[in-house]
Structure 1
């Protein structure tokens, strides 16, 4: 994402409109120029790259655009400390050795030669004096070496820039109301997973057939304006782009340029926004445990059909998405949830969801390795069929419950 100083928005009444670049020849040329600059800087230091970018920027009036694109490209770079020894240890060795003689240019050269010989013997590889000299302060940001650059296409860079400008709107979000219309259940699960990942406080209402309304409270709805929670909302937006049909409206708290007072802004967005996500789509399975179970089920000769993430179970203020559904040709069906994760907070939330769902067609497969008692979980009032397993969940154990 972009820092606040590189965001470009304009106001239309209370509505905030972020800057978005056209994917045209002019902007593609600027993107290509910057990408080539980073590509040519491989093997050089970050300081050398910054000087190249400064020359490229020059006195151009669109310097903020170029700085924004360069900022995004830096996130695709790996800068490493290149030194024969950890720089702080190397400095200690050099200073200790040089303190034994009177400082001079000739003596400095002898010190480097002597230490290079010592390190060559200690490390069992050749170390030359120039490597020591370069490595002395290799841990400073400007001296770190660009070792890898995950080069995007110009189109990908412009798309990421447009998305970052939109994400920046949410830095000051005080509330967001998201309507996720009827979608594939797996898309919902990806969205809810990112809500949990970024620790967003969300209240969820609705059902799979009609869609869900998700209310998210942001930073400024807490005790005082802060970008911490707004950043989490912004990080969630690329995940939302993987959902087929949705719309959102956000209430923002922004500073007045002239009075420095807080004022309310509005922003809306929907699935027709033409933004492109750089987040990967959802994985077929959440864990190796689920994937292994599905693979073993495929080898069975059973009338029961295993389906992946096809049902959403609405519960007050939230939603539960079981891992599998098992369907029989005679019309019977059961939901299967595999509980193999050990964190107490997760277990408490999971079993609270099961109780609130009040489903009589739910099967819980629980790992024997979990210490439910320590997590404060009591199974006596859980309205579900329970299967215990050790290292792997066997289909035969599930079939025994089904039959």
Structure 2
């Protein structure tokens, strides 16, 4: 992400619009030049890299764009203290030896040679090695040791997304309307919500869409931006959900001279059609071998039923259910939830949510290998909608239950 001073945006009628870079020849060339600078400075000190970046800024009015692109590239590299000896140990030895001499620049070469002899173990050190290691752990003295160069267009996509993320730093509420999606997309979405400590309330239905409401820093933590930063980190995960709209309420920045002092609130709007690109890895199609095996076996059946991965969220008081599959035949539709190999606390929550949902159209497939007694759950609560299986979940067993539930 970008620091606040590198965010560029405009506000029109209370609506915040982050700056985006069009993939013009000039912008692609700028991105390529910066990537080349980083590649040329592998193995060199950070201060040398910083000087090369500043040279690219000379005479440019868009110097903030240069700095923002460079900041993103910095996150794609690794900086470490150079040399073969820990700088902390080098400084300790040099300062220890210096105590025995009257301060004098003429003593410096002698001190460095003494320190080199004292610190040598295995391969010998020179006075120059000691001098280069003395402050090698300071930020500007660190060495760029690895760098994974992106394509120029990829860097521009990262810039656009980073500017959008920056709009959420000061968000105090965020509402997402999610349409029908693959369960893997929803599951990744909810996984990241939990990972970043975001609290969400899910409401709605398949016909009108599901609304996910997130509280922000003003309502929870006063003026801190900690929660807003978490929302910003969450945004790349949202991009993997195929159909959604986002609306965020922001606290206006009063530190900018061009901001209308009468503004009480800004709004930031985003949709899945805006063309932002995520750098987070996309979720796998199936969460487990159980699911993928079930889908493969179902595809080989000669049946009038069809299997769908595109399943709706099922909001439940205290949580949400994401069924693994939907099987359909004409107007008949049944959800399929596979409960495989999980910890007792997960099982307890899973079955509690299934009970709370009150849904009578969910087939619950339960592995006989689970220690349900230890988890304190009783699948018999779901009556004839339970399908027991051992190592393999057979689609014919599930379809037999679906037939009973929906009729011939």
Class of the TM-score when normalised by the shorter of the 2 chains: 0.7 to 0.9
- 1:340 and 1:370 in contact (8 A); partners too: no
Could you give the per-residue CA deviations for residues 258-277 of structure 1, whole angstroms, max 9, x where no partner exists? 69787211121212212222
Q: 1:343 to 1:13 in 2, by over 3 A?
A: farther
How many Å separate the matches in 2 of 1:240 and 1:151? Answer: 25
Q: Is 1:143 matched up with 2:109? A: no
Mapping 1:73-112, distance limit 5 Å: 73-96=73-96, 104-112=107-115
SS in 1 for 2:265: strand
Partner of 2:172: 174
1:362 maps to 2:359: no
Structure 2 CA distance for aligned equivalents of residues 369 and 294 of structure 1: 23
What pairs with 1:155-174 in structure 2 (closer than 5 Å)?
155-174=153-172
Question: 1:265-316 CA distances to partner (integer Å, 9 max, x unpaired)?
Answer: 1121212212222222112344xxx226745996899889996855445133
Worse-matched range after superposition: 378-387 or 272-281: 378-387
Q: Would the alpha carbon gap of residues 325 and 74 (structure 1) be closer, same or farther in structure 2, given more than 3 Å must change?
A: same
RMSD: 3.8
Alpha-carbon separation, structure 1, partners of 2:126 and 2:373: 56
1:190 to 185, 188, 204: 188
Residue 29 of structure 1 aligns to a residue whose secondary structure is helix
The CA distance in 2 between the partners of 1:268 and 1:218, in whole Å, is 16
Matching of residues 3-402 of structure 1 within 5 Å: 3-58=3-58, 60-96=60-96, 104-115=107-118, 118-120=120-122, 125=123, 127-208=125-206, 210-256=208-254, 257=256, 263-286=264-287, 290-291=288-289, 294-295=292-293, 309-312=309-312, 314-316=314-316, 318-323=319-324, 335-338=336-339, 340-342=341-343, 344=345, 346=346, 349-359=349-359, 361-365=363-367, 379=378, 383=382, 394-395=391-392
Q: Which range moves more in the overlay, 353-362 or 24-33?
A: 353-362
The 8 Å contact of residues 202 and 210 in structure 2, kept in 1 or not, is answered as yes
Query: Partners of 2:168 and 2:228 in 1: how far apart?
Result: 6
The CA deviation at 1:4 is: 0.9
8 Å CA contact retained: 2:308, 2:326: yes
Q: CA deviation at 1:335?
A: 2.4
**Cα distance between partner residues in 2 of 1:341 and 1:58:** 58
Q: 1:111: Cα distance to partner? A: 0.7
Question: What displacement does 1:129 show?
Answer: 4.0
Question: Is the CA contact 1:174–1:219 (under 8 Å) kept in the aligned structure 2?
Answer: yes
Q: 1:183 is paired with a residue of what secondary structure?
A: coil
Judged with a 3 Å threshold, the aligned counterparts in structure 2 of structure 1 residues 293 and 94 are, in CA distance, closer, same or farther, namely: farther
Q: For the residues of structure 2 that align with 1:93 and 1:367, how far apart are their CA atoms?
A: 61
Greater shift in the superposed pair: 170-179 or 87-96: 87-96
Change (3 A) 1:107 1:370: farther
Output the CA distance in 2 between the equivalents of 1:225 and 1:75: 27
For residue 319 of structure 1, give the secondary structure of its aligned residue in structure 2: strand
1:110 CA displacement: 3.1
CA deviation after TM superposition for structure 1 residue 69, in Å: 0.9
1:24 deviation in Å? 0.7
Partner SS state of residue 121, structure 2:
helix
TM-score, normalization: structure 1?
0.80
Question: Quick check: 1:255–1:263 contact (8 Å CA) kept in 2?
Answer: no
Relative to structure 1, is the Cα distance of residues 251 and 381 closer, same or farther in structure 2, using a 3 angstrom cutoff?
A: farther
Residue 43 of structure 1 aligns to a residue in which SS? coil
Q: Compute the displacement of 1:78 (Å).
A: 0.9
| Segment of structure 1 superposing worse, 261-270 or 357-366 | 357-366
| Greater mean deviation of Cα atoms: 62-71 or 25-34 | 25-34
Q: Distance in 2 between matches of 1:396 and 1:56?
A: 61
Task: Tell me the matched-pair count.
Answer: 386
**Do 2:112 and 2:130's aligned partners in 1 also have CA atoms closer than 8 Å?**
no
In the alignment, what sits opposite 2:405?
A: none
2:275, 2:286 → 1: CA distance? 28
C-alpha separation in 1, matches of 2:277 and 2:306: 33
